[in-house]
Structure 1
Amino acid sequence: MTLGSIPPSLGKISSLRILSISRNNLGGNIPAEIGRLSNLHVLEQSSNKLLGAVPPQLYNISTLRIFSITNNLLSGRIPATVGLTLPNLTLFSADLNQFFGSIPTTLANALGLIKFSIEDNSITGPIPQNLGRLQELQVLHFGHNPLGTGKANDISFISSLTNCTNLQILSLSRIQIGGILPTAIANLSTKLTSLWLNDNIISSSLPSGIGNLELYLSNNSFTGEIPSTIGDSSELQILVLEQNMLTGQIPASLAKLNFISTLNLSYNMLEGEVPMDGIFANSSTFLALGNGKLCGGIKALNLSSCPKPTKKKAKLSTPIVIVIAITIPLAIVLLLIFAYAIHRLRSSKQQLSFSSAAEKQNQKLSHAELYDSTNDFSSENLIGEGKYGSVYKGVLKPGEQMVAVKVLKIHQHGAHKSFLAECVALRNIRHRNLVKIITSCSSLDFKHNDFKALIFKYVPNGILENWLHPRSAEEEGQSLMKLQLIQRLNIAIDVASVLDYLHNHCGTPIIHCDIKPSNIFLGDDFRALVSDFGLAKFLSSIKGKSHQHQSSSVAIRGTVGYVAPEYGMGGEVSTQGDVYSYGILLLELFTGKRPTDSMFTEDFSLHSYVKTALSHQVMEIVDPKISMEAESIAGMITNTSKGSIISQEKCYLSMFWIGVSCSAKIKRDRMNIKDVLSGLQAIRNEFIRVINESQMR
C-alpha cells in the first residue's frame, strides 16, 4: 500500500544537504521543487513506487554527489549534459527502472565518479569510448540493457577501460553486444574481481590473461581451447563458461587450483578425459553437461568410460623378413607377399568405402548445394518465415532426399545467437516429437557474405498454423477433411510430451520459449513435431546464484499472444512460461481462434473467452470445423444416446479446463506439465470409449 508522495515543500529547505527517503513505499512523481535544493549532496529515493520522468532540475544540482533512484517506475532519458551539470557526482544508480535513450558521452566529465549503475532498463547503444577518463571508477553496471548495435566493434569500448585502474566490478550481462573480445581485457585493473559478459554474442577465444577474475562468460560464442592459466589466482573464484563453442580437453592443471569454488563448462564441445581430483571431485561445484565427447571423471557425472588404448599388432620387422627370404624358397615368399598385398588392398578399399559413406552422411553442406536444392531459395519453395530465419523445401542430390532448409537472416540483430542456441539445444535433445535435424551449413554465399542454415528432415503436412487457419481454399479443404478431433487431441498430447521431456527429463531443464502453432509441424501420420529452438534457454543448475537464472530482461522471449505475462514485466524465464504458451495453444487448437484475434482486447482475451464459457456454453465455443467433422463420424450425434453426448461435452469441458489452468495469469496457479500430459491422455481414452460405444449401437 502506497503511503503517500514526496511533498513539494521539501524544496523550500534550502540548507538541506542529505535527502534520504528510500524504502518508504512512496508513489507519484518526483516534485520539480526538489531541484531548488542547491546545497544538496545526497539524494536517495530508491525502492519506492515513483513514476514518470525525473525532473530536469534535479540534474542541475551541481553539488550533488550521490544520486540513487534504483528500483522505481521512473522513465525518460538521462540528459546528454549529465556529466557537465553534475561534475561532483561520485555515485549514480538508476537500476530497475524504465529509462531509455543512450549513455551520455559527457558522463566522462564527472571525473570523481566511483559507481555508475543502470542495470535493467531500456538503454540503447553505442557505449561511449571515452569512459577511460573515469580513473576513480570502481563499479560499472550496464547489464540487462539492449546496448548492442549489431556491429563488430560493439565491445571495443572495453579497451578504453584499461585506464580505469581502480575498477573492481564490470557487469555487461545481456547487453546484446557482439564482436571479438579485445586482448586489452587482460590489461584491465589489477583490482578487478568480477567480470560479467554472459548472454551476449561475443565470438573469440578465451584470453589467457584473465585468470584472476570471477568470470561469467556463459551463452556466448567463445571458441577454441580453455587456457590452462584460467583460474590461476589466490582469490571465492567462480568460472561460468557454459553454452559456448569451446573445444579441446579440460586442462588438468585446473585440478591443482584450490581457489575455484564453481566451474561450469556445460554445453560446449569439449572432449577427452575429465580429471577426478580438486574441483572435479565434487559434482555440485563442477558441471559439464552437454559435452558429448567427454569421458571418465567421478561416477556422479554419469559420463561414459574413456576408451582403453588399443595394443598395436606387432609388425614384421625387416631382419625377420630377410631370414624368411633366405630360408624359404623364393616362389613361396613371392606368393605370400602377393596374397598379403591383395588382402591389404581389399581391406583398404572397404575401409575407404565405409569412411566415405560415413563422411557423406554427416558432412556439412555448402551454400551452393542448398542454393540448388531449393531452386535458388525461390518463393515457391518457401514453407514458413520467422524473425530470425526463412524455411524452404529442398531436394538434396544425389539421392533426391526431401529436406527443410532453415536459412538464417544473418543481418537480423540476435539471429546469430538464435542460430547458436538452436544448435546447442538440438545437439543435446532426442525425442520422437521433435523435428529431426540432418546437418548444418556455415559458409559464404556467392557474394562472400556469411551464410548459415540448418537442414531438417522434410515434414510433409506442413505447420499446424496452416491447418488451423488456412490461407487458401486448397488448405481449407484439407483441414476440413483430415484434421479430425482425435488428431487434434493427439497433437496436444504430443506437444505436452515434448515439454515434459524438456522440463523434466533432460538433466538440465530446457525452456523452449516459443511454443505456438507455426513452430509445430505435422508428419505424414499427423504426429506433432516441435521445432525452432532459437529462443531456447537452459536453466542453470548452480543453486543459490540468482544471477544465473535465465531472465527475459529487456527482450520479451516469445511471440505476442503466446508469451507469458511475467516475461513482459522482466520476469525470469521458467518452465511455467512454456506451460502458459502451451495453454494458449490448447485453447486455440479446440476453439479455432488465435489469441491475437480482433475480438480480443486488453481486458478480454482467449483465456477469459473460454473461462467464461466453461459454466454453461462449452459446446458453443468449440471450433466449428470440429463440429462439422464430428457430425460426419458414423452417426456420432444423431444416433447416439443422450449419455454419450454428455460424455462428449464432458471431454471438451476437461480439455478447456486444462487450457484455462495452464494459461493462468499468475504462474504459480498454472498446472505442472506432467499433470497436463496425464490429464489429456485420460481425456483421449474417455473420448475413444465414447466413439467406440456410439459406433457399436
Structure 2
Amino acid sequence: MASQTLAVHVPLSSDTDKIALLALKDKLTNGDPHALPSWNHSLHFCQWEGITCSRRHKRVSALQLQSQDWSGTLASSLGNLTFLRVINLTSIKLHGEIPREVGHLKRLQILDLMHNNLHGQIPMEMTNCSSLEVIILHQNNITGKVPSWFGSMMQLTRLMLGVNGLVGSIPASLGNVSSLEKLSLADNHLEGTIPPALGRMLSLKLLYLGVNNLSGQVPPSLYNLSNIQDLSLTENQLVGALLLNIPTSFPNLEVFQCGINRFTGTFPSSISNLSELETFDIAGNDFHGPISPTLGSLPKLKYFDVSFNRFGSGSAHDLDFLSSLENCTQLQQLIIQQNYFGGVLTDLIGNLSTNLVWLTMGSNQISGRIPEGIGKLINLEALGMERNSFEGTIPYSIGKLTNLVEMALEENKLFGNIPLVIGNLTMLSELDLSLNKFEGCIPFTLGNCTKMERFYAHDNNLSGNIPIQTFGYQQGLIELYLYSNSFTGSIPSDLGNLNHLSILHLQENKLIGEIPIGLSACSALTELLLERNSFNGSIPSFLGSLLSLEILDLSNNNFSSTIPHELVNLTFLNTLNLSFNNLSGEVPVIGVFKNITAISLTGNKHLCSGIPQLHLSPCPALPLQKKSRRSIRRRANLFCSFGSVYRGTLVHFERPVAVKVLNLQTRGGSKSFMVECKALGRIKHRNLLSIMTCCSSVDFKGDDFKAIVFEFMSNKSLEILLHSTIEDSESTNLSFSLVQRINIALDIAFALDYLHNDLEEAVVHCDIKPSNVLLDDDMVAHLGDFGLARLIHGTASHSGSNQACSSSAIKGTIGYIPPEYGGGGTVSREGDMYSYRILLLEMLTAKRPTDTMFGEGLNLRSFCNMATPERIIEIVDSRLLIPIDEQDQGRRVITRQQNMEDTIRECLVLFARIGIACSEESPSQRMGIKDAIMELHAIKHKLLS
C-alpha cells in the first residue's frame, strides 16, 4: 500500500514543481518567448537551465539564474517549490515586490536577490523560513524598517541589506543572532545611535553601517567584536575618540573605514600592530597631530587615506612618515590631501611601491621642487599636488609616468616652460596647470594626448599662438581653460573638430582676428568666453546655431557691425555680454534680449531700439537701397556652375562676403538655385561652405534676380592654389606643402563623410573638383557649390544601387565624372569617391585631368599608377619636394636628411595609392571615405612623428 502511495505522490509533486516553474518563467522573463529556451516540455525540468533537483525526491532544490536583462517579476508560484534550499536570482533586473509566498519555503537556506530593482517592504512571512542562513537583498529599492523579527532567525550567518531605502533605527534585536558573521546595513536612510546590543554578536567578521544618518558615539560594547575583519562606519554623523581603541580591540582588522564623520583624536602609533590591515580610511574627520612613522609594519597595506583632517603642523618633519611606507610594497593608493602637512617632498618619494596608482597630496603646505624621483612611480594613474608651495620647473622625469590619467599641479609657484615630455603622457584625461607662473608656448607635443577631456592652463604667463593641430586632435575635449595669459594670434580653426567641447574660456589674452567659423561645429558648447581680447570683425551669425550655449561673453573687444538676430535662437542662454565693442544697429527684443538681467550692452554707442529697459535711442528709418548691387565688386579668377561669384560688402556687416549671382538664362540655373539653397540650408559642418542667406527678388530692371551669400574665403580656391604660376606669387603660397595638402584632403573627406553618412537623407555632391574647394584664413578647406547635389532617399547608413537616385543627364565636370555616369548610371556616393580620387591625384601632381598630355589610353590615374612607387618623385608637384622642416614653419620633425627624404617619398606613395584606390572602374571596388580618412591620418602621423 505504501509503495502505491509513493508511486502516485512523486509524479504529482513533480508536476507541481513543473507547473510552478513555467508560471515563474512567464513572470521572470516578462513573457519573452526567446528567454530560457531549455525550459520546455521536451526536457525534464531537472535538466532546465539554472535548476538543481534533489537526488532522492527529484524536487527542485536550487534556482540559480544570474545576469540577465529580463526586467520581470517574482511570481507567487515560487512558494510552491517547497523543496527549495537555494534561490539565487542576482542581476536580472527584477522589479515588483518580494511575494509573501516565500514564507512557504521552510527548507530555504539561501535567498540572494541582490542587484535588482525590487521595491516594497521585506515580507513578514519570511519569519516562517526558519532554516534561512543567508539573506542578500543588497542594491534594490527595498523600503520600510529593518524588521526586528530578524532577531529570531537564529541560523543567520549573513544579512546583507545595503544600498536600499530602509528607514528608522537599527533594531537592537539583531544582537540576539549570535551566529551572524556578516551584517551590512550600509547606504540606507537609517538614523539614531548604534545599539550597544550589537556588541553581543561575537561571531561578526563584517559590519557595514556606512552612508546613513547615524549619530552619537560608537558604543564601548562594539569593541568586544574581536573577530571583526571589515568595519565600515563612513558618512554618518558619529562623534567621539575612536582611533585609540581600534588597534587593540580588532587585532584581525583588514578593512577599516570611518571617513566623513565627526571623530576626533590623534593618530595611534599602535596601528602598526594590525599586520593584516589592507584598507585604512579615516578621511573627512577632525583628527590632528603627526602621522605615526611606524606604518612600515603594515605589509599588506593597499589603501591609506587620511585626507581632509588636521594632520601636520606646517613644519619640516611632517612628511617623515612617508619613508616608513617604503616597506608597504603592496600600497596602491596614498591620499593625504587637505591637511596641514609642511616640509619638503624629497626624492625618497620614488622609493614607494611601484604598485602605487593614486598619489594625492594637494591643499597642504608642502614646499620645494617636485623631486625627479617622482618619475619612478611608473604605474601612477592620478597625481595630485595642487594648492601647495611647490616651486621650480616640472621635472623631466614626469614624462615617464605614461599611465597618468589625471595630473593636478594648480595653485603652486611653478615656473618655466611646460616641458615637451608632457606629450609622452598619452593616457591623460585631465591636466591642470593653472594659477602658476608658467611661460612660453603650449608645447605642440600636447597634441599626442588624444584622450584629453579637460585642460586647464589659465592664470599663467603663457604666450605665443594657441598651437594649431594640437587641441584639434583631442576630439574628446570637454573643457579648455586658457584665460588670463598672453596668447596672441587668432583662434585656431581646428577647434571645430571638438564635437564634445562644452566650455571654452579664452578671455583676458591678446588674441586677434575674427571668431573662426570652425567653431560652428562645436554644437555642445555651453560656455564661450572671449572677453578682454582684441577680436574684430562682426559677431558671426553661426553663434546662433550653438543651441546649448548658456554663457556668451564677447565684451571688451573690437567687434563691429550689428548684433546677429540669430542669437535669439539660444533658448538656454542666461548670460550675454556684448559690452564695450563697436556694435551698431537695432537690438533684438525677443529671446535672451527681452531679459534685462541676462544681457549687458553698455559701451556700444551706436546701438538703438531694443526693450525699453535698455533706454536706447530709436533706430532711424533706412532709405531704400535701389542700387544696392553697386556695392558688389567683381572678384577675378572665379567661376561656378550656373553663375558667377563676386566679392561684396553688406550694410552693418564689416567682413567681406562672397555673393554667387545665378545666371538664370543658363538652362537649369533656377533649379540649381533651389537645390543649393535647400541643401546648404539643412546641413552644417565646419568643412562645408556656410550659407549666410539666399536672395530671390527682381533687379532694378525688373528682371529675376537670384543670389546666394556665403562667407568670404580669403585664400581663394584649391584650383588657384594648385595651378598658380610664378607670376601669381603675390597672391598665393608657392610653398604649398604635403602636410597642408593632406590637411585639405582630410577636410574634404570629413565633409563627404558627413554628407554621405551622417544625414537622415544622404547628399551626393556630384561636382567635386578643386574650384569647388575654398580655403579660409587658416587654410581650412570648405566644400562648396551644391548646385548639382542630389539626395539619396533613406538613411545615410544604407548604400547600394537601390539607394541612388536616377540621373537623366550627366552630372559633374568633364575629367571628374565617374565612368558609370557617362553610361547612364545612377548618382551615388561611389561617384563622389571617383571625383575625390581625381582631386587627390591632381593635388599630388598639380596636373588637371584634362591636361593635353592625357589621351590615347593615358589618363591621370594610369599616369600615377605606372609611376608608383618607383618613379613617384618624377610625377609629383615640385613644391612637394621642399624639405618638410621648412614647409612646417621651422618645426624640426625629421632631423636627418636621408630620413627626411625617405619619409617624404613613402608618404607620397601612400597618398598616391589612396587616389588610385578611390578610382577603380567598378564603383563597388572603390575605397570608402572612412577608409580614406583613416589612411590620410596615418600619413599625417608619419610625417609629424
- Using the size of structure 2 for normalisation, the TM-score is 0.33
The structure whose Rg is larger is 2
TM-score after normalising by structure 1: 0.44
More helix by share: 1
RCO higher in structure (CA 8 A, sep ≥6): 1
